[in-house]
Every structure is written in structure tokens, then in C-alpha cells.
Amino acid sequence: MITSKLVRPILSTSAAFASFIRPANTPQFQGIGLGSGIFQQPLRKMHIQSIPMWVGSSNNYAYLVSDDETKDAVIIDPANPPEVTPILSEKSKTLNLTAIMNTHHHWDHAGGNKKILSSLPSQIPVIGGADCEAVTKTPPHNSTFSIGKNIQVTALHTPCHTQDSICWFMEDSKTNERVVFTGDTLFIGGCGKFFEGNGAEMHKALNEVLAGLPDDTKVYPGHEYTKSNVKFLKKVLPGNEAVDTLEKFADDNQQTQGKFTIGQEKAHNAFMRVHTDEMKKVTGETEPAAVMAKLREMKNAG
């Protein structure tokens, strides 16, 4: 396993991003003991700010992830600079942006890299697949690095939607929170189109690599596609209670990112159930890779 550390950019005093300066280290404390409140422990968590982009058309998400203790942060897939740079500018007062990260090379994920970089006071690494715009670093499969002090990132190569697709698994060592940024590989209740790959590759990506993560890992996909995914799931998984639960949530909430886990995806996502008799029956196929390919064809056909 190859381990590397992000290089912290040099602090700058440019006008737009005047204060990449850490605030005083003042952790908040919350009493958790009964009565006397003797037991106290730091209240920290992995902060994830969703930045919806092109809402109403392609419904993409960029994500700003920061370590609560050090205030080091990364921005994932900041593809539409007009919707992202105002937030980065505001957040620069409290956060220290250390990298741009990408899930894959498509323009609606990596196409904003150069513009974002040009808006920053100093250069930072672009970490992503080999074909991403202005990429400077492509971590090998299963390699790790850190964001700040507490967030460990693992690169999970998941070629299929594009050959350079990487899902980013993050664990907070302090809080035990686990999340995965899946780009266009795994959506809530669905998966991406196989533009550069096949059923066998998506089967491996979803049902070996991502399914191997702890079940409580929260899923943050590259798009809000849940409602349309539910329509398809109701056709191929009729009467599935987990799909009904997902449908209700999607009806009641415009945003579903981070609300469902890998464990729940295994229950309601047809593409993570290719080994089941019901999916074999629906597709008329028996091998998981063939079931996957057929399911994708059926979804593409609407």
C-alpha cells in the first residue's frame, strides 16, 4: 500500500483569498457524562458541504470536505466555477484548501479545474484519474493519504463509466465516520452508464470494490438522480420494501446524497443485487456480469 501526504500550499495574502489562516485551535467540548459532567470529549466531525450545480438540468454535486480539527479541506469535482468559487472564497476565511479532487475526467466533474486553480492564490494539487483536466497526481488503487489530521482517504479505482473513474473512501479516525464519493460509478439507487467499460467492470466496481466497504459507509454520488432511478427500480424490484423507503425519501427530499449507506444500496439498488434470483429472472441472464450488462441496457431503454 503506497501512502503519501498532501503538500500544504503556501499561505497567501491575495485579496480574494485573504485569509487561509487557521483560526486559533479552540476545540469545542461537549459534556457527555451524567450529573457532574465529568466525562468530556471533543465534539468533532468530518464536515461535508454539498454544492449543487446546474440544478434542474444535470443536477451535479461538488463537495467541500474538511477536517474539523486542522481546517484542512479538499474540493471534489468543482466543475462549474461560477457556482463554486463564491463558496470557496467565503470558506477561505476559515478553511485551508489543500487539493482539488476528481472522480473522473468528464467535463461536468473535472472541467472546472483550471478555472478554479486560476482563482486561487497559490497552486494546489489536482488529485484524480489520469484523464482529468490539469491533473497532477493519480494515486494507485487502494493507496491512502490524509486530509488534515483525522481524515484518511483511500483511492478506489472503479473503471467502467470512464476508465479513469476513482471513488474516494474517507474515514475520520476520531469519529469513525465513513463516507465514499462515488462520482458517476454509483448513484443512490443506480449506477453510471458504461461509456468506457462493460458489465464485468461495473460488476467488479459495485459488487467487489464498493460492496467491500463497511455497510455504514454513507454514499455521496456525483449527481442527484434518485427520483429517476426509483422509477426503474420499481419496474425491476416490484414489492421491494427498501425501494419503497427510498421512493418515499426521494419524494420528500430534493437532495438524497449522504442519506443512504452502502448497506442500504445493497438492499434497494438493482445493480448491487445482480447475484440474486430475482435479478437473474428479470434479465434472463445468470452470470453477474451479464445480469449487470442487461440491467444497464434495460435502464438505458427507459
Binding segment (CB under 5 A) for Zn ion, from list 146-154, 176-184, 252-260, 294-302: 176-184
- Which of 105, 157, 203, 223 is catalytic? The answer is 223
Which CB sits closer to Zn ion, 91 or 106?
106
Instruction: Write down the least CB distance from residue 78 to Zn ion, Å.
Output: 15
Sign of CA dihedral 275, 268, 299, 53: negative
Window 196-255: residues binding Zn ion (CB under 5 A): none
When binding is defined by CB under 5 A, the residue of 164, 184, 224, 247 that contacts Zn ion is 184
Window 68-127: residues binding Zn ion (CB under 5 A): 106
Task: Quote the CA–CA distance of 228 and 240 in Å, as a whole number.
Answer: 17
Task: Decide if 184 is catalytic.
Answer: yes
Instruction: Write down the least CB distance from residue 281 to Zn ion, Å.
Output: 30
- Which of 67, 77, 105, 161 is catalytic? The answer is 161
Task: Decide if 67 is catalytic.
Answer: no
Assign residue 148 a region: left if phi > 0, alpha if psi is -120 to 50, beta otherwise? left
Which CB sits closer to Zn ion, 154 or 185?
185
Task: Decide if 47 is catalytic.
Answer: no
Task: Quote the CA–CA distance of 278 and 280 in Å, as a whole number.
Answer: 5
Which CB sits closer to Zn ion, 148 or 183?
183
Question: How many chain residues bind Zn ion (CB under 5 A)?
Answer: 2
Task: Decide if 104 is catalytic.
Answer: yes
Task: Decide if 203 is catalytic.
Answer: no
The residue behind cell 455504514 is 216
Which CB sits closer to Zn ion, 95 or 210?
210
Task: Decide if 109 is catalytic.
Answer: yes
- Which of 109, 157, 203, 268 is catalytic? The answer is 109
Binding interface with Zn ion (CB under 5 A): 106, 184
Query: Could you list the active site residues?
Result: 104, 106, 108-109, 161, 184, 223
